[in-house]
Structure 1
Amino acid sequence: MNLAEFKCEAWLNNWERLATYDIAQSTVEAMTVDEILKLDSEAGERLWRDLRHEKLSYGWIEGSPRLKTAISKLYEGVDTDHILASNGATGANFLAILALIEAGDHVIAQYPTYQQLYDWPESLGAEVDYWKVEEEAGWLPSLEALKEMIRPDTKLICLNNAAQPTGAFMERKFLEEVVKLAKSVGAYILCDEVYMPLDDSLDRVAIASLYEKGISTNSMSKTYSVPGLRLGWLASQDDDFINEIRKLRDYTMISTGVLDDALSAFVLEHRDQVLARAKGIIQENLTILKSWVDQESNVSLQAPPEVSLSFVKLETIPPEETEAFAISLLKEKGVLIIPGNRFDMPAYARIGYACEREVLEKGLALLSEHLREYKK
């Protein structure tokens, strides 16, 4: 197997511990254990007391009933028997693609987006066609292009909604058109939904609720603000798919562990409070980011719809120098971004703005300094 380097993750692995001002991460500022327990002080104290006496066994293999019940409330038409816990959304995507794809299968993948969604099926021997996003269309791909790409033997369409690294979001009407095309050839749709926007004006729907062969993956990272709980899940109405995942889980992970399960269930049971916190951080910091862009002539931005990441164009940096600029920014200013070439889009940078306000403000100020000073 020829498995490509995961370019975004490799960048973070190499550089993130050196950053003073990390504005590269795409999660909402992480919650502490204390903050989680204080979502409901009485219930939190009871949970903490129970966990101190919990045996660290494998726990519930597919996810506890409490966890699966909390997850099922995120969907319409998906019951707890059709939800399986995984090691993060990355683990969920890995299993979904492994369950469906064999050498020679035809896959259509939104591109560029989360690299796993196109390079993993390609590594398994699939023929992967890239459904390219278009900046002039708000970083969405063209439905007309999808009509031309889809084939009678198309097995799977891979989506990221909202999308890494742009934050672009496909609303219900757009997804319904994708479903029509997938249904016409019997293709599955896998959609990584970890960046579901918090903008209530958007018509949001999970692909697992919209299509019987839709597969939604998600996790406690990003919007739910606890990436340290390495817990994600798959949700689908399709019996055959879910049963195949059950088999693969036994070969690859067994369970997610009792601590991650219990804390994740607690967070999801207090989802409204968690999302209100996330929304407050995103709205405040997105205002700061937009203001900075308005005042900084060296950059431009198509602002994301209350999603915890953004894709800023570096107007004055030559595309071939994108990574060199990002490295010098870190070494000279202590600011971490992700250069766009790590998403096959040089001349841009991913900025995760849902961090601590002080980190964002200082990081952006130093980024402005470096844009003016670079190679002067």
Structure 2
Amino acid sequence: MDIQAFGVEEWLNVWENEAVYDIAGSSIVSMTLEEILTLGSSGKEELLNQVLVKTMNYGWIEGSPGFKEQVAKLYQKAKPNQILQTNGATGANYLALYALVKPGDHVISMYPTYQQLVDIPRSFGAEVSLWRIQEANQWLPSLEELRNIIRPDTKLICINNANNPTGAVMDRNYLEELVEIAREVGAYILSDEVYQPLEDGIDVPPIFDLYEKGISTNSVSKTYSVPGVRVGWIIANDELSDLFRKYRDYTMICAGVFDDFIATHVLKHKKEILERNRQIVDHNLKLVKDWVAQEPRVSWVPPRHVSTSFIKLDVSEETERFCIRLLKETGVLLVPGNRFDMPGYARLGYCTRTEILEKGLEALSEFLRQYD
């Protein structure tokens, strides 16, 4: 088995610690442990006392009943036994691909997207067809094109909704048509749903609730601002869940007693967190929209109140070289678009702290003046 280096992670591993103004990430400002423990009415001391008496054993292997109860509330049709706790959404995606994809299978993946969804199936010996997103279509891939590339033997369609890096969103109408196409050939749909759009009036149901062969993965890392506990989940129909259980035994025992406790508490108080994060997204997105409007060397398709965005750079320089010089000379960190096989673009993570975003955009504009 051979696999490509993970472009974005490789980039961040090398350069992230040098950043003064890190506007490359895709999470909404991470919460502190103190902020998490003050959620709700229990009080920090009571919650700390609950933690202190916990035995540091393996805990609940598939996730505690409380965790499964909170996750189930995110779906219309969920049963607790269909939910498996994983090591982040990364672990959930890997589990689904590990269990389903065999050599010679035909897999379709939207592209570019989170690299797991393309290169893990390839590493397992699958034939992967790229379903390319289109800037002219608000960074959504064409459903008509999907009809042209799907085959009677297509095993799996992989999507990332909302999309990383662009922030584009497949809404209910789009997803229902996607399901009809998949159902015609009996293909599974794996949907990485870590980026929840925090926008009023947009209907984006989980693929699990729409399709009997839909597999939803998610975590508390992005929309819920707690990547530090590394807790995610996968949910699918009963038959698939039992299959995933078998393969999960080879990849993970448990997420950890403390991690499960924090993740459960976070999901229990998701309403407060989502309101906090909606304010951050709304405020920072307006800042970036105003900045793009006055910056002649940057254009974009605005994300749908999702914590990641993709900007187009009008510069006469190779993108990665530009981003390295930008970092070294100004302290501003972006992810170059070639890490998504999209040279000429960059991922801009605008949901960092507002003061970092403001200073980072100012420094980026000053740097861009050399190309005028």
Runs (4+) of structure 1 exceeding 3 A deviation are none
Equivalence for 2:159: 159
Matched, 1:329 2:347: no
Equivalence for 1:258: 257
- Following TM superposition, by how much is the alpha carbon of 1:43 offset from its aligned partner in structure 2, in angstroms? 4.7
Deviations 1:317-355 (A, max 9, x none): 44xx10000000111101110000000001001000001
SS of residue paired to 1:61: coil
- Following TM superposition, by how much is the alpha carbon of 1:55 offset from its aligned partner in structure 2, in angstroms? 1.2
Matched, 1:198 2:198: yes
Equivalence for 1:311: 310
Q: Distance in 2 between matches of 1:68 and 1:155?
A: 28
Q: Distance in 1 between matches of 2:330 and 2:257?
A: 41
* C-alpha contact 1:118 1:128 (8 A) present in aligned 2: yes
Equivalence for 2:169: 169
Q: Distance in 2 between matches of 1:55 and 1:38?
A: 23
- Following TM superposition, by how much is the alpha carbon of 1:249 offset from its aligned partner in structure 2, in angstroms? 1.5
Matched, 1:38 2:38: yes
- Following TM superposition, by how much is the alpha carbon of 1:41 offset from its aligned partner in structure 2, in angstroms? 4.4
Equivalence for 1:96: 96
Q: Distance in 2 between matches of 1:333 and 1:167?
A: 26
* C-alpha contact 1:86 1:92 (8 A) present in aligned 2: yes
SS of residue paired to 2:226: coil
Q: Distance in 2 between matches of 1:43 and 1:68?
A: 23
* C-alpha contact 1:89 1:218 (8 A) present in aligned 2: yes
* Equivalent residue letter for 2:260: D
Equivalence for 1:54: 54
Equivalence for 1:249: 248
- Following TM superposition, by how much is the alpha carbon of 1:240 offset from its aligned partner in structure 2, in angstroms? 2.1
SS of residue paired to 2:39: helix
Q: Distance in 1 between matches of 2:324 and 2:350?
A: 19
Deviations 1:80-109 (A, max 9, x none): 110000000001000100110000000000
SS of residue paired to 1:228: helix
Deviations 1:224-279 (A, max 9, x none): 0011110000011x222111111111111110001110000001000100000000
SS of residue paired to 2:228: coil
RMSD: 1.0
Equivalence for 1:27: 27
- Matched ranges for 1:103-252 at <5 A: 103-236=103-236, 238-252=237-251
- Following TM superposition, by how much is the alpha carbon of 1:46 offset from its aligned partner in structure 2, in angstroms? 2.1
* C-alpha contact 1:317 1:347 (8 A) present in aligned 2: no
Deviations 1:110-134 (A, max 9, x none): 0011111011101100000000111
* Equivalent residue letter for 2:184: S
Q: Distance in 2 between matches of 1:55 and 1:18?
A: 39
Q: Distance in 2 between matches of 1:176 and 1:158?
A: 15
Distance 1:59 1:21, change over 3 A: same
When the two structures are superposed, what TM-score results if normalisation uses the length of structure 1?
A: 0.97
